[in-house]
Amino acid sequence: MAVRTSEAEWRGNLREGAGREELLGAAHAGCYSMALSAGLSKAGHPPTRVHTVARVHLEKVGDGFGITRIELECEAEVPGIAAAAFQEQAEGAKKGCPVSKALAATEITLKAKLLG
């Protein structure tokens, strides 16, 4: 088992801050890229490059704020793979990456593009 520790310190009563959503998006984009790379490699198609953008949507929900959607947009260079096999791997990574699973309560959308 691995336990990763992170810390945050807050001073004063500042009420706003976008850094948290960017961190969440970076965690998701990184996790997704890694999961896709691992899946493709396991299937015999190690990618040359995987690039993922995560867009985290924060909206007013009732009294507070909520993350209503995360859009993943991925581009990958994967020598020799068929388009359908790539899309299958891309969907599998969306379902299977640990951060996606932790975020199961949140809508996640995916656009995956095979380059070249």
Query: Footprint of a copy of itself on this chain (CB under 8 A)?
Result: 1-15, 17-34, 36-38, 40-41, 46-60, 64-67, 70, 96, 98-99, 101-106
Q: How far is CA 36 from CA 8, 16, 48, 89, in A?
A: 30, 34, 12, 7
- Name the phi and psi angles at 63, rounded to 5: -75, -25
Residue 18 or 83 with smaller CB distance to a copy of itself: 18
CB 97 within 8 A of CB 32: yes
CB of 2 to a copy of itself, least distance (A): 4
Q: How far is the CB of 87 from a copy of itself (least distance, A)?
A: 18
Residue 48 CB, shortest distance to a copy of itself, in Å, is: 7
Choose between 5 and 84: whose C-beta lies nearer to a copy of itself: 5
Supply the DSSP string of 57-69, one letter for each residue: EEEEETTEEEEEE
